[in-house]
Structure 1
Amino acid sequence: MLRSWMLPRWVLLGLVVAGMGMASPCSARSMEDEGTVLRTEMLKQRRSAELKQGPVSVEVQLRPAVNTAGHQATQAVATVRVKGEVVGVLEGPESPVGMNGAAVVQIVNLDPANVYPEVLLSAFTGGAHCCNQMQVLTRPTGQQLWRTVNLGPFNGGPAPARTPYGGTVPLIVSADNRFLYQFACYACGRAPTRLWQLEGEQFVDVSHQPRYRPLYRRELESYQGLLDQPRDPDGNPNGWLAAYVATKALVGERPQGWQQMLERYSATSDWGLKACLGGYGAQGCRTPEVVYPNFPEALKAFLQRTGYWN
């Protein structure tokens, strides 16, 4: 039998840490955490806890489970109640026992148009480079039933919704997974930050809205050390250069970023010069692969496909 216990609000608000892995590079100074938050690893020997914000309460349980490989695991489960009545249940993926469910549960106002705040379950699926799986329980305006909206999976570990500088609404903050492994190895590359806003029953990418440029200007500061390094003729900076140009585009400075890329890119690396635009099937690429003559051409086509080059 799992025991329930109530955490003081000051403890709940302090149980927020950054995600694992190569997650969004935005500094903590660029974000503010919102709502009531619990990270399951802080439960230690406890197996359940309750969060409450107004009429919305969430019972968070760590349940024993068996993963697909047949190993013992732990699963974070969030049972959501409004005025004592159960309105929905969110279940995280099975994670290794020692990780205590590896999840963040949050009560937060993601859609200001709604009467009640949302409940977010951000959970780690396991794996060296993966993944943060997001689920949000929401009751959209004009509806009586609560619905689950899924987002991700994203690179990195569990994290709460946050309000970036320049914004007034808490957002889901992720790395743009499309950049990972695109032009360099995982450890050699970078990925721009991607911002998602809940609107009704879907998440909308709002990264390109001018109000969030202050966040991306701070993110550009993290590239300065790479830009100051002498050019290495044997290195491959193309992975981080792709993310740098995309981030410059988000602040309206793509031409400057493009010129800096032309001065630094590796002309010998062939990573990312082939693209399967038709998607993969059982027999491989469904259409003939596109082969680009060089990195700038491949990068331009990639930025056009991903919306950074308009």
Structure 2
Amino acid sequence: MKTTNKTIFLTALSSVILTTVNPALAQTRIDIDYKTPAFENKELTVGAVKVLVNYKPFNLEQGDSFEDKNLSYRILYNGVEQSKKEAFTLYSGVIFLEDLDKNKLPEVIVSTYSGGAHCCTNFQIYTWQKDRFIETETGYLDGYGGEFKDLNGDGKIEFLTADNAFLYQFSSYAGSFPPSQILSFNNGEFNNVTRQYSQELKSTAWQMYQAFVKAKQEGYEVNGILAGYVAQKILLGEYEDGWKFMLANCDRTSDWGLEIYQGEEVVGRYPDFPTALRAFLIEEGYLNKNGRP
């Protein structure tokens, strides 16, 4: 079996959602995997915030449907129920409490996995604002979705993920390597702070380069890696270097991603990969309308 750049990418994200738990304190985290049995009213508590969680494993042989809600949870503040939710998750999920924005009140973070090929994790975050919990979600993200981590040691937690728009755009899923996205969380909202973390960006750019070298050696797809690499170099303020590297190494015989769509209809075709990539980078906001970073 070939090892692709996708292996590197998923490995980088596989240590998802690190959080520290002191055994002397109340439980603050529940992990769900394929071995987790059914449970009811498992309790997570930090200060005034409490979560009660119920879970039933998905069982196709018993007639369970992907439309069923097998995870439910109640969120309380000072003993008063504030929110009650249901969701579906397939053999994977995490519910935990952590203060993401350093305001001395923990957020409730719930991740659920949709199942399906090359799919998908959604994070729902509940944060107490004045007199109620505000709900924010990431939307479904590739694989394990991302990682919560304090990148600069300031006590605030960033969310490390990737720009899923690059998946399948110029290569197959396995041949794609999306650029980094780093989000901060404050007042119930995510904010894109990717460009503030150059060391993290450089580390991923190096992984991309290694993935490209391996793909090139094995005669595998490279354009999906190069698309992400150019975007990553833009984030680092090194657009020209990234673009020159792409021009020198791209596969000009590949027609993946050259079609121009208007809605679901094909209305044209780009002449080559570099032209298609430039248009895509403009569309996604990496370049301005004049094709400059």
Structure 1 counterpart of 2:162, one-letter code: A
* Residue 164 of structure 1: how far off its partner (Å): 2.8
In the alignment, the residues of structure 2 paired with residue 170 and residue 300 of structure 1 have an alpha-carbon distance, to the nearest angstrom, of 33
2:167 aligned with 1:180? yes
2:52 aligned with 1:59? yes
The TM-score with structure 2 as length reference comes to 0.79
Structure 2 counterpart of 1:300, one-letter code: R
Instruction: Specify the alignment match of 2:113 in structure 1.
Output: 124
In the alignment, the residues of structure 2 paired with residue 90 and residue 308 of structure 1 have an alpha-carbon distance, to the nearest angstrom, of 37
In the alignment, the residues of structure 2 paired with residue 51 and residue 308 of structure 1 have an alpha-carbon distance, to the nearest angstrom, of 41
Unaligned runs of 5+ in 2: 1-5, 22-27, 288-292
Relative to structure 1, is the Cα distance of residues 27 and 118 closer, same or farther in structure 2, using a 3 angstrom cutoff?
Answer: closer
Q: Report % sequence identity.
A: 28
Equivalent in 89, 103, 111 of residue 93 of structure 2: 103
Structure 2 counterpart of 1:110, one-letter code: L
1:32-73: CA deviations, max 9, x gaps? 646743212287335142222222222222046799xx6356
Aligned residues, how many? 273
> Matches of residues 1-310 of structure 1 in structure 2 within 5 Å?
26=12, 33=19, 36-41=28-33, 44-45=36-37, 47-48=39-40, 49-63=42-56, 71=64, 75-95=70-90, 99=91, 102-112=92-102, 114=103, 116-140=105-129, 143-157=130-144, 161-165=148-152, 168-208=155-195, 210=196, 212-229=197-214, 231=216, 235-276=220-261, 278=262, 280=263, 284-285=264-265, 289-309=267-287, 310=293
In the alignment, the residues of structure 2 paired with residue 30 and residue 41 of structure 1 have an alpha-carbon distance, to the nearest angstrom, of 13
SS of 1:51's partner is strand
Structure 1 counterpart of 2:74, one-letter code: T
Relative to structure 1, is the Cα distance of residues 186 and 65 closer, same or farther in structure 2, using a 3 angstrom cutoff?
Answer: closer
In the alignment, the residues of structure 2 paired with residue 273 and residue 227 of structure 1 have an alpha-carbon distance, to the nearest angstrom, of 21
Relative to structure 1, is the Cα distance of residues 164 and 65 closer, same or farther in structure 2, using a 3 angstrom cutoff?
Answer: same
Relative to structure 1, is the Cα distance of residues 37 and 162 closer, same or farther in structure 2, using a 3 angstrom cutoff?
Answer: farther
* Residue 181 of structure 1: how far off its partner (Å): 0.4
CA RMSD of aligned residues (A): 3.4
1:124-156: CA deviations, max 9, x gaps? 01111111112111123xx31212222211111
The TM-score with structure 1 as length reference comes to 0.75
